[in-house]
Amino acid sequence: MKHNFGAGPCILPQEVFKEASEAVLDLDGIGLSILEISHRSAEFQRIMDEATSLVRELLEVPSDYSILFLHGGASFQFAMVPLNLLTEGKIAAYLDTGAWSKKAIKEALNIGEVEVVASSGDENYSYIPKEYIVSSDAAYFHYTSNNTIYGTEVFDIPKLDVPVVSDMSSDIFSRTIDFTKHDLVYAGAQKNMGPAGVGLVIIKDSLLGKVNRVLPNIFNYSNHINANSLYHTPPVYSIYVSMLNLRWLKAKGGVEVIEQENVVKARTLYEAIDNSKLFKGTAALEDRSRMNITFVMDTPELEAAFLKFATERNIVGIKGHRSVGGFRASIYNGLSISSVNALIDVMEEFEEQIV
């Protein structure tokens, strides 16, 4: 067994892999594969209904928000959000906390006017800007809740009087969401919700219908809401496996329970990094992500040696993104504390050999 710290697509619970594989041959004993059933069948309708109600229950989504499962992952939302919300003549406010924020900003700029209210690009995105002003005239405010590449996470945002949109791709379902402060939340599934191939969108219904531009039908949230995510063939299998994963989460006790586990997992690993002479965390202490733990060593030679050492001991997926270097241990919901401890053991073993 390998300990998979990959950033995404990533580990899911073993039980989910097992059930997902069984359904490929026979879905719940109906004599058909999940891969061959119609997306209009009663069987799939039940899956879609359960997936939707699990999202609503686990995240405590208020009843005036719609829940959508859409193709295109998070990047599709970089375009869909401004197309649907960036009213003509208004400006969208974006917080720039890293590569994914920048991609979202770039896409919005294709559609309308954007103001970047603050950026941590001056220090290679190692912290979250706290002092910024969002004009009460803005069409909406957009931020990335967890910066998968840089290992920083936004734990609090101001209560704003403009709609707040958040890309929660890499921390959705890892902690509770305050819907009094969020109007639209989206996420690619493959970091914490399920396999690649689907995106989740949770949107307050009253946000819609305010832009005058002619939208391609496929980009129009209202079309997807009116069709209950069946405007066209949805990613059936990705939705099914996401549903299995959310069932697993519910059986575990839900988001508040996993949040406490995630706090413990992250604290344990950060403590090991802070107590070591060889490893150094890269993110500002108060902004350290609970999902993606980034750390470096003093020289590229040491880093290469540790990577080899860890790989030989079944620790995989820890190489850092090229823009930060070093290491990134992604410790999503599906990764158990025993894998975190296995990584710490390997770090300590390496340190004993070197120092």
Ligand X SMILES: *Cc1c(COP(=O)(O)O)cnc(C)c1O
Dist. CA 320–CA 211, nearest whole Å:
41
Dist. CA 104–CA 290, nearest whole Å:
22
Say how many residues touch ligand X, by CB under 6 A: 12
The residues in 285-324 that bind ligand X, with binding defined as CB under 6 A, are none
Piece of the chain touching ligand X by CB under 6 A; list 45-53, 69-77, 253-261, 321-329: 69-77
> Which of residues 191 and 204 has its CB atom nearest to ligand X in the complex?
191
Question: Does the footprint of ligand X cover residue 188 (CB under 6 A)?
Answer: yes
Please check if 108 is assigned to a binding site. Answer: no
Question: Does the footprint of ligand X cover residue 81 (CB under 6 A)?
Answer: no
Question: Does the footprint of ligand X cover residue 328 (CB under 6 A)?
Answer: no
Q: Which of 100, 183, 265, 287 is catalytic?
A: 100
Binding mask 243-282 for ligand X (x = CB under 6 A): ----------------------------------------
Q: Which residues contact 282 (CB under 8 A, 6 or more apart)?
A: 126, 150, 151, 294, 295, 296, 324, 326
Contact at 8 Å (CB) between 119 and 105? no
Q: Which residues contact 68 (CB under 8 A, 6 or more apart)?
A: 200, 201, 202, 203, 221, 224, 225, 229
Dist. CA 127–CA 132, nearest whole Å:
14
Question: Does the footprint of ligand X cover residue 74 (CB under 6 A)?
Answer: yes
Angle at 153 between CA 225 and CA 261, to 5 degrees: 90
> Which of residues 153 and 272 has its CB atom nearest to ligand X in the complex?
153
Please check if 74 is assigned to a binding site. Answer: yes
Question: Does the footprint of ligand X cover residue 6 (CB under 6 A)?
Answer: no
> For this structure, is 130 an active site residue?
no
> For this structure, is 167 an active site residue?
yes
With 0-12 / 13-18 / 19 or more C-beta atoms within 10 angstroms meaning exposed / middle / buried, residue 102 is middle
Dist. CA 341–CA 353, nearest whole Å:
18
Please check if 56 is assigned to a binding site. Answer: no
Question: Does the footprint of ligand X cover residue 170 (CB under 6 A)?
Answer: yes
Residue 216: cis peptide before it, omega within 30 degrees of 0:
no
> For this structure, is 265 an active site residue?
no
Question: Does the footprint of ligand X cover residue 163 (CB under 6 A)?
Answer: no
Question: Does the footprint of ligand X cover residue 96 (CB under 6 A)?
Answer: no
Contact at 8 Å (CB) between 303 and 325? yes
Question: Does the footprint of ligand X cover residue 192 (CB under 6 A)?
Answer: no
Question: At closest approach, how far in Å is the CB of 199 from ligand X?
Answer: 6
Packed helices 337-354 and 300-312: angle between N→C axes, nearest 10 degrees:
130
Question: Does the footprint of ligand X cover residue 238 (CB under 6 A)?
Answer: no
> Which of residues 170 and 245 has its CB atom nearest to ligand X in the complex?
170
> Which of residues 97 and 342 has its CB atom nearest to ligand X in the complex?
97
Alpha helices, H only, the chain: 14-25, 42-59, 73-85, 99-109, 221-226, 236-252, 255-275, 300-312, 337-354
Backbone angles phi, psi at 153, to 5 degrees: -140, 145
Question: Does the footprint of ligand X cover residue 79 (CB under 6 A)?
Answer: no
Dist. CA 310–CA 314, nearest whole Å:
7
Question: Does the footprint of ligand X cover residue 142 (CB under 6 A)?
Answer: no
> Which of residues 8 and 163 has its CB atom nearest to ligand X in the complex?
8
> Which of residues 73 and 326 has its CB atom nearest to ligand X in the complex?
73
Piece of the chain touching ligand X by CB under 6 A; list 35-43, 60-68, 165-173, 304-312: 165-173
For residue 20, give the 3-state DSSP assignment. Answer: helix
Q: Which residues are catalytic?
A: 100, 167, 191
Q: Which residues are annotated as a binding site for L-glutamate?
A: 40
Q: Which residues bind ligand X (CB under 6 A)?
A: 8, 73-75, 100, 144, 148, 167, 169-170, 188, 191
